[in-house]
Structure 1
Amino acid sequence: MAEADNGIRIFDGARLRLTHFARGHDKLLVSFDSREIGRTGFKPPNMINVYDRRGYDQISVRTSVNDWFINGETTAAERVLEAVAKPYRDVATVGFSMGAYGALRFARAIGATRVLSVSPQWSIHPDDVPFDKRYRTEASDYDQRLGALEPRAVPTLRGIIAVDPMNRLDLWHAERLQMIFPALRIARLAFGGHPATQVITRGGRYGATVRALLSDPPDPTVLTKMHRDLRRDVPFYLDRLSQRGKVRFPEAAAWAKRRSASLQA
């Protein structure tokens, strides 16, 4: 089935859809839906133009509910992803939050060599993370066995886990994931929020995430430097620092409050 931007739907389920944007490149990027509060069905497929310009065909993986791509269609969709990805000489994958988990969950099936995983989860199952109650509603149907990352870990997978270290739950997940994906490096983007790259994207520099992923090897310092360069001029960062840094960083928090007010004057 043809979709927007000349994409072809290669898997058409009630819970999962895969759209392939085949432009004749020999490299492939697989991207995954982010969690969306109030999701009521499939979003339009997303082809990321900057990766197209870098010579990547793309597959957009979408879900109709916030289920972390774990449902009765997961195994069938995984087989399709594996078959379509196999001819490509290089496969990268990217995702944010729920999509960041998806990028890691399906990395082995697609033969990924690199990943950018922004604020991912190791698991959302209550037995695995009884202290993380953020996703309890979505976790009610989560199949612990089908979603487990350890059996699907790729020890040689290179890439970046971007995380806001001020978010202790997100930092725990990032460090837990690095234990089973030891070649991944953590980019700590303080007060970047969830997902952690919001200072970069709100600052209009999404291209930095692309450079970080496509560097050889993937380079987390691209993200940390861009985050530092932009943060003093991004109200989102300043407001988070002024509110959430009062106890640990009182002087910085006071400065951020003044700086935010001056930008809005």
Structure 2
Amino acid sequence: MANKKEEDFFFGVSFLEKKRIDYIAIDSFDNLWWQSSEIFACIEEIYKRGILKMYREIICYGSSMGGYGALLFSHILRATSVVALSPQYTIDNSKIKYDLRFSNYAKQINFFFDDLPQYCSKTARKLVFFDPHDIDGQHAARMQGIPNVELVKMPFAGHSVTAFMQEVGILSKVIESVIGGTFSKADFRNQIRSTRRNSARYFSCLAEGLYKRNTKYTDLPIRLAIKSFSLSQNAKIARFIALRFAEVGNYEQSKEWFSKAIEIKTDLILSLRSIISLSIKHGRHEDALHFFKIGIKGKECGLISASGLASLEETIGKSIENEQ
């Protein structure tokens, strides 16, 4: 199961086609967490065609909202196994208070088929992959009482455990082992431990996790984040490093890492706004003007106006006069 807005292609299709594995890809064009009549019309069509009767082994497979759907419809789809990657127990905030990531979607949803313990298969082997240090860990904890659920912990993989497994090259092996009935949590744990040092995501999540636990101690999170950046050249990681240096008053290092983020040009406005604000705070008006001009050159919408530039130039002029 996949969300078309998040996937350029149906989730996992290239792998399945390469292995010549028959599949049905169920897609959602809206973030309704499968609370719509269309999914039931789709399943009804599957029944009409007698597709489920053709197979002894049926695996439901999905990530995040898709993982939730794979669990939710595992009984109806006669699944023998489920692979749920970072699934939610529910996003209905009348039932849970610990996760508000999807609250804007939840407000628009009529939850009429949203009870995992009641609706998911009792007999299928259900593998739930998640990061215990992420909010997903709280969802996984709620699933412990469901029969035949196996919780597979992936520390510091973040919400997208799928991307983590792809990054370290084990996702296809995991799916193949589930299909072949040979998946072992112990073997998987060993695979994770032996490959995670090649993962930028791992070091990034570890850095963020350590920082959240102790915001006064930034040296180790910075070093871990720099390791992550060396593996990925990711603008978000560069901004994280820049902000940590800013917090300890190291303007030059902060400026250097914001500049790296700007060079990558991903979420450029966030980086420009941050460094401009920091430059003004430290009285580095020429630096602020430099980054403003980068914003103008790139025509970043909403970042800069002619009056804003004139105001900054005036501020720089006054600052120079005061120094004289």
Structures share fold, TM-score greater than 0.5: yes
Deviation at 1:56, TM superposition (A): 2.5
Aligned equivalent of 1:127:
94
Change (3 A) 1:262 1:92: closer
Change (3 A) 1:69 1:248: same
Change (3 A) 1:230 1:253: farther
User: Alignment identity in percent?
Assistant: 24
Picking from 106, 130, 144, the partner of 1:178 is 144
1:1-265 correspondence to structure 2 within 5 Å = 32-34=1-3, 36=5, 44-45=9-10, 48-52=13-17, 54=19, 56-82=21-47, 83-167=50-134, 169-180=135-146, 182-216=147-181, 218-246=183-211, 253=221, 256-257=224-225, 259-260=227-228
User: C-alpha distance in 2, partners of 1:186/1:77?
Assistant: 29
Name whichever structure is richer in helix by fraction.
2
Aligned equivalent of 2:279:
none
Change (3 A) 1:170 1:163: same
Whether the 8 Å CA contact 1:34–1:97 is kept in 2: the answer is no
Unpaired runs of 5+ in structure 1?
A: 1-31
Number of aligned residue pairs: give it: 228
User: C-alpha distance in 1, partners of 2:232/2:24?
Assistant: 40
Change (3 A) 1:236 1:84: same
Whether the 8 Å CA contact 1:212–1:223 is kept in 2: the answer is no
Change (3 A) 1:200 1:222: farther
Give the partner amino acid of 1:163.
F
User: C-alpha distance in 1, partners of 2:68/2:232?
Assistant: 36
3-state SS of paired residue (1:187): strand
Deviation at 1:150, TM superposition (A): 2.6
Name whichever structure is richer in strand by fraction.
1
User: C-alpha distance in 1, partners of 2:74/2:187?
Assistant: 23
Change (3 A) 1:80 1:219: farther
Indicate the structure whose relative CO is greater, using CA pairs within 8 Å and at least 6 residues apart.
Answer: 1
User: C-alpha distance in 2, partners of 1:178/1:56?
Assistant: 30
Scaled by the length of structure 1, the TM-score of the pair is: 0.74
3-state SS of paired residue (2:143): helix
Deviations 1:41-86 (A, max 9, x none): xx65456243345552100000111111221323222222344223
Deviation at 1:110, TM superposition (A): 1.1
Unpaired runs of 5+ in structure 2?
A: 234-324
Deviation at 1:192, TM superposition (A): 0.3
* Aligned residues: CA RMSD: 2.9
Give the partner amino acid of 1:137.
N
